[in-house]
Amino acid sequence: MPVYSQQVMDHFMNPRNVGEIENPDGIGEEGNPVCGDMMTFYIKVKDNRLEDVKFKTFGCGAAIAVSSMVSEMAKGKTLEEALKITPKIVAEELGGLPKNKFHCSNLGAQALTRAIKDYLGKKKAGGDK
């Protein structure tokens, strides 16, 4: 059984920002059919900042911890800052992840990026195409 850091256990046992945002500005989904993890991120944007970030994750403890950490790291950040959240940074913030669980940090960062790109795409579609 993999050994998890205190941060991973804390975010798994007490995940932050779980849930859905009504009428989100962007939604991003990312999944890994092989391991069965599925993450959905919802964002609210105000003045180019992530005013709120929520997620729903179906997956292992590491996937839940990663989603929680990504949502915490992204909240209050500008869109540009949030897009710089990489899987490596997420794993470091969590005190490391076992090698066979590192893919979970990819999913979290990718789901957030998809939500931001979804928002930017809608914004662009509303203005100039």
Residues with active-site annotation? 35, 104
The 3-state DSSP composition of the chain as helix, strand, coil percent (nearest 5) reads 50, 20, 30
Are 61 and 35 in contact by the 8 Å Cβ rule? The answer is no
CA nearest 116: which of 86, 88, 74, 87?
Answer: 74
Give CA–CA dist 94/88, Å, rounded. Answer: 10
